[in-house]
A and B are shown apart, each in its own frame.
Chain A
């Protein structure tokens, strides 16, 4: 075991440089709610921790083009306290609220939730359905990547060595649209999603769904963006028939595993149940957020 070093650079550039030149395992420390647990339980033995919380730009939520730019080191609680963000993207906040206890959310970040690479991460599906785009800063270049392209497999992301998520852009909420996220867990809190479903949909003046994005969590090695689920909603008034189709499509989209948290059969079935419930909630919100 080599010694663990800690750096808290003041700029993103410096952080990227530290990560890029480290030979051993280097980990970004934002909220630390995954990294510290993994160290404590001997799952990882990093040699360098790069604390990004001293980088001022990463700590802010700012208005941009009618939407929001959320710094990678903004905590869940900070997002929950941002009234305009909560109003625009209630579904994203549904996910953020479920990341963990109040204590955990005081530290945990959406970027960490994403980079941990768990298909069960609660904030990821609604970020994806919201069309969130991550700005990734690397030693050489900066790139903009839709959130759904980041997770590759459990624990793996498409971030290259030395790359850091700087922020997420959540676009302006379209008119007559709403989003929602729900998960299934045996306990009311302090649990990991057995299934999670996020839906973001837009209605026209007649209440017909013109656009929808549906994302399923914890039912495959990575979150699933389901075109079939979206297709079940678009062009409908999100009536019973559409919901039935949606539920069937959600169950059909699942490629889950049997594990300590749930069975294939259960996850497949509940994905449909949740999809239906989440669609109803998103619909209500779309009607409210005119």
Chain B
């Protein structure tokens, strides 16, 4: 039996060490080894965005990253989005504007939307829709998701 890889990475500011097999994705490790199950798997082929995380500051599908590639990486997941008791404005606006129904797509969409607003604090509706095109939602028809992002963006701009 082959040996597993021993790696260390930082998730949401905390250092983790873990063992993994070569073919395991970052998503597999987050969920099955580190028990950070907030990141979801919808397809494992990069087509749904439910597994979205930030990898060294960039929005990525954690199912399309091998865990062995992540030595020393800085990962951001949904578990690190709120500051203590205080929800991120995106989280709060999704709640208040019903930007989620079943909620399975929500962690990925929140992470993706946060990454958008970091680069572009005032995106148009079209920009939001194209940025989120990699995040499937089957419940909402996207309307309330887009409105939630718009409202959060506005709030974060202090407008």
Residue positions of A touching B, CB distance < 8 A: 3-6, 8, 29, 31-33, 36-37, 39-41, 49, 51, 53, 77, 100-104, 106-107, 188-190
Told that A33-B64, A189-B133 touch, could you supply 19 new A-B pairs with CB distance under 8 A? A4-B21, A6-B66, A8-B68, A32-B65, A32-B66, A36-B25, A37-B46, A40-B25, A41-B45, A51-B69, A53-B69, A101-B135, A102-B59, A103-B52, A103-B61, A104-B61, A106-B60, A188-B130, A190-B134
> Are the C-beta atoms of B59 and A40 separated by less than 8 Å?
no
Query: In the complex, A189→B63 CA distance in Å?
Result: 19
Contact (A39, B134) CB under 8 Å given A53-B69, A101-B46, A107-B60: no
Q: Across the interface, which residues of B come within 8 angstroms of A101, CB to CB? A: 46, 49, 61, 133-135
Residues from chain A with Cβ under 8 Å of B8 in the complex: none
Tell me if B12 is interfacial: C-beta within 8 Å of chain A.
Answer: no
CA A5 to CA B52, docked complex, whole Å: 26
For residue B45, which residues in chain A have a CB less than 8 angstroms away from its CB? Answer: 37, 40-41
A10 CB to nearest chain B CB (Å): 13
Flag whether B36 is at the interface (Cβ < 8 A): no
Inside 8 A of B59's CB, which chain A residues have their CB? Answer: 102-103, 106
For the complex formed, measure the closest distance between the CB of B107 and the CB atoms of chain A, giving whole angstroms.
13
Complex A-B: 22 CB contacts under 8 Å: A5-B2, A29-B69, A31-B64, A32-B65, A32-B69, A33-B64, A36-B46, A37-B45, A40-B25, A41-B45, A51-B68, A53-B69, A100-B134, A102-B59, A102-B133, A102-B134, A103-B64, A107-B60, A107-B64, A188-B130, A188-B133, A190-B134
Query: What is the CA–CA distance of A1 and B124 in the complex, to the nearest angstrom?
Result: 49
Q: How far apart are B60's CB and chain A's nearest CB, in angstroms?
A: 5
Q: Which of B23, B25, B60, B133 contacts A4 (CB 8 A)?
A: B23
* Chain B residues with a Cβ under 8 A of chain A: 2, 5, 21-23, 25, 44-47, 49, 52, 55, 58-61, 63-66, 68-69, 112, 115, 130-131, 133-135
The answer, among B21, B65, B66, B131, for a CB contact under 8 Å with A102, is B131
Cross-chain pair count, CB within 8 angstroms: 86
Bound state CA distance, A11 and B68, in angstroms? Answer: 18
B61 CB to nearest chain A CB (Å): 4
Rounded to whole angstroms, the CA-CA distance of A100 and B131 in the bound complex is 11
Overall SS of chain B's interface: mixed
Chain A residue nearest to B133 (CB atoms) is A189
Known: A40-B44, A102-B134. A107 touches B65 (CB 8 A): yes
| B-side contacts of A104, CB under 8 Å | 46, 61, 64, 134
Look across to chain A and name the residue whose beta carbon is closest to the beta carbon of B129: A188
Q: CB-nearest residue of chain B relative to A41? A: B45
The 5 nearest A-B residue pairs measured at CB: A101-B134, A189-B133, A3-B2, A4-B22, A103-B61
Q: Within 8 Å CB of A103, what residues of B? A: 46, 49, 52, 59-61, 64, 112, 134
Contact residues in B for A39 (Cβ distance below 8 Å):
23
Residue picked from A33, A101, A189, most chain B C-beta under 10 Å = A101
Q: A69–B133 Cα gap in the complex (Å)?
A: 30
- Chain A residue with the shortest CB-CB distance to B135: A101
B47 CB contacts on chain A under 8 angstroms:
190
Contact status B112-A102, CB under 8 Å: yes
CB neighbours of B49 from chain A (8 A): 101, 103
Chain A residues positioned under 8 Å from B52 (CB to CB): 103
Taking a contact as CB atoms under 8 Å apart, the answer to whether A36 and B66 are in contact is: yes
Chain B residues with CB under 8 Å of A102's CB are 59, 112, 115, 131, 133-134
